[in-house]
Structure 1
Amino acid sequence: MMNSPRLLALKTDGLVAHYWHFNLAELIFQVTFNFGFCYLLFYLNLTTSSILFIYRNNQRKLLAYFLNFLLLLFCCIVGGIVQRHSFIHTQLRNIYWLGYISRYFLTTILAAILIKIILLLRIAQKKEKENEQLKTVYLEAELELLKEQLNPHFLFNSLSTLSGVVREDPVKAQYFINHLSKIFRYSLDQSGNQMATIEEELNMIRSYEQLLKMRFEEAFVLTIAIDTEYLNFKVPHLSLQPLLENAAKHNSASKKKPLRVEIFIADYQLVVSNNLQAIPRPENSTGIGLSNLSSRVRILMHDEIVINKTTDSFSVKLPIQR
């Protein structure tokens, strides 16, 4: 577009050709010089180490605009003089300079628009990246807070059970403390990890199972039926223990009517199910366990737990992750 007069001069019988003879070498010079000017504009305005970019970022935009104007003026004068002395022209001098300045002015406007678009895109990307970083920091802090809620809650319930075991059987209390230490060791060892494999969770659950068996004896039955192919799948850290704790807390259990808990895989979900046996005088529920787990699944896996409750059973389905 900017060299259209030159291209129109190719038509030898046209009006433009009468005043302006086409010269291929001159056209190549113009295109090359124009390209160099555009490259210099983009480089100085978009390269983070360039002085124009630094001035722009330091809120010295007027100085940056002035330096761009000087660059335009310098290239326009140098290019015009070199071209006029290198090639023979028959057109009037004023028309030559008017066309030359107009061409560079239009080039500068188009380049400025593109530079502005690129700078705006960079700002948008930077803000998006900062927002993602802030979101990540916030979610990590929220997850740590949720995990910190679990430990005191579990510790309080465990100590309440331990106080009763100590009075009844000091030897059994030692066994209880041994398994309790394994659970807390797992909790502390994995404190930096938000996700754990199903195998790691099940190893911890077997220790927790022993605590429940000491409390309920034959009135508690845990069945785990998970194929080995799923053991390396991941779930949120400490996701199974609160479910067993809820089952033990909100259901009655006796030798004749034991509390039965099953852990298995169904439809690529980890299912924890128990039979419902209402307690005559149920304890007040804080709801920390399920609410905490639901929040962590939502944050870590962008998914939801599924809770199913019937007249005789209660189950929670957890999404699993490879």
Structure 2
Amino acid sequence: MIRKIALAALAAVGVFHVAVFIQSGTVWVGTLAGYQELLRVFAFLLSTFWAHAHVARLFGADRLTRLPASAKALLEGLCVVVVSLVFWLVFFAPPHHYLVPVVEVSPQARRLSLAVNAVLSLFFYYFVEREHSRQKLEQEGYRVAQLQKETYQAQLEALQNQIDPHFLFNSLHVLGSLIHLDPDRAVQFLGQLSEVYRALLDTGAQTLVPLGREMGLVRAYAHLLETRFGDALRVEWDVAPAWEHFQVPPTAVQMLLENAIKHNGSTTRKPLRIRVSAANGMLVVENNRQPRTDVVASTHTGLRNIQRRYQHLTDRPVEIEPTPASFIVRLPLLNAPAA
């Protein structure tokens, strides 16, 4: 609003003195009455700029999409002219002697004033308000591009973690052992492994996925981990079906499980416990803290990636709560975007 007031004041001074110069051959106004007229020009322009913001929103890129582009542009310009006419009637049509008693305005001057105001209104709309709208649209495009970049990075990191030779070696080693010991479990393990890769590839360029879909990936991934670590890992689930239609960034929950495995040790006597739950509009991933004996350097890349993606999507922050006994991350559950 301050920007519009400043712009209206500058434009009013410019327009007023140009009009004075055209009429009198000088930019100097020697009477108080003349500057009272300047106040009226300022009020007219401020009201016009305020109305222009609403017109720009009405004819935004995502509005009135069923109209042909030419018809939409014509209707938009007509709207601006009508707004100019309404404000001209409010500020300039009443007799001048109420505000500027020494100035007499002829009917011809009134008609010229009406035409000039309409042209000025169109000028200010297309070169001020629309330019501002264009800049906002560019900023939105940049925001979307950044979000897509973060999503691609998350997918790349998730795939790299799964394709990592160490992960593949361990998975194939577990699979080879199960083939001899328990063929049925081996088949199940192989199915879960393929499910993890399929889910990662299916996310594509999506910035949000339903929680139910993400949980399918996470449960398949957790099953691989539980098969590999046995009684040294316990994953608990407490996510009611009512939450599954809410949205989360793809692979975000899986990255939290990876983070817990990476930074904590586990044994059958002291298992690593990971609990995934949903409550109060948040998805909570909590694990007990058992620092590894072979310390792994933490770059916090995964957590930062999740935080950056959420910053592009919502004002609700990702909550990270480390304590001596546990590490808790709360992800906001988002509503599905409007179709």
TM-score (norm 2): 0.59
Identify the match of residue 291 of structure 2 among 258, 269, 278.
278
Please give the alpha-carbon distance, in whole angstroms, between the structure 2 residues aligned to 1:151 and 1:197: 20
Q: Does 1:132 align with 2:140?
A: yes
**Gapped runs of 5+ residues in structure 1?**
1-47, 54-97
* Structural mapping, 1:57-206, within 5 Å: 102-119=109-126, 120-156=128-164, 158-162=167-171, 164-165=173-174, 171=180, 176-206=189-219
Please give the alpha-carbon distance, in whole angstroms, between the structure 2 residues aligned to 1:309 and 1:138: 28
Counterpart position of 2:55: none
* Structural mapping, 1:198-217, within 5 Å: 198-217=211-230
SS in 1 for 2:304: helix
Q: Deviations over 1:126-165 (max 9, x none)?
A: 3333442343234323432332233113321522422543
Residues 1:108 and 1:234: Cα distance change in structure 2 (over 3 Å) = closer
What is the aligned-residue RMSD (CA, Å)? 2.9
Please give the alpha-carbon distance, in whole angstroms, between the structure 1 residues aligned to 2:251 and 2:121: 52
Native 8 Å contact 1:146 1:296 kept in 2: no
Q: Deviations over 1:180-235 (max 9, x none)?
A: 21111011122232212222122222211221112210111111012221121211
Residues 1:105 and 1:153: Cα distance change in structure 2 (over 3 Å) = same
Identify the match of residue 237 of structure 2 among 224, 232, 235.
224
Native 8 Å contact 2:147 2:309 kept in 1: no
Native 8 Å contact 1:218 1:258 kept in 2: yes
Q: Deviations over 1:10-53 (max 9, x none)?
A: xxxxxxxxxxxxxxxxxxxxxxxxxxxxxxxxxxxxxx98xxx9
Q: Deviations over 1:81-128 (max 9, x none)?
A: xxxxxxxxxxxxxxxxx9576455444443333232222323332333
Residues 1:164 and 1:115: Cα distance change in structure 2 (over 3 Å) = same
Native 8 Å contact 2:263 2:291 kept in 1: yes
Identify the match of residue 298 of structure 1 among 311, 315, 327.
311
CA apart distance, 1:287: 2.6
CA apart distance, 1:254: 1.3
Native 8 Å contact 1:187 1:238 kept in 2: yes
When structure 1 is superposed on structure 2, of 287-296 and 102-111 the one drifting more is 102-111
SS in 1 for 2:252: coil
CA apart distance, 1:314: 1.0
Please give the alpha-carbon distance, in whole angstroms, between the structure 1 residues aligned to 2:240 and 2:150: 33
Q: Percent identity?
A: 27
When structure 1 is superposed on structure 2, of 102-111 and 301-310 the one drifting more is 102-111
**Gapped runs of 5+ residues in structure 2?**
1-68, 75-104
SS in 2 for 1:248: helix
Residues 1:117 and 1:216: Cα distance change in structure 2 (over 3 Å) = same
Q: Deviations over 1:261-304 (max 9, x none)?
A: 11112332110111111222222234332222222222233432
Please give the alpha-carbon distance, in whole angstroms, between the structure 1 residues aligned to 2:290 and 2:152: 34
Residues 1:182 and 1:314: Cα distance change in structure 2 (over 3 Å) = same
Give the residue type in structure 1 aligned to 2:313.
L
Q: Which has the larger radius of gyration?
A: 1
Please give the alpha-carbon distance, in whole angstroms, between the structure 1 residues aligned to 2:223 and 2:305: 24
TM-score (norm 1): 0.62
SS in 1 for 2:221: helix
Number of aligned residues: 229
* Structural mapping, 1:2-41, within 5 Å: none
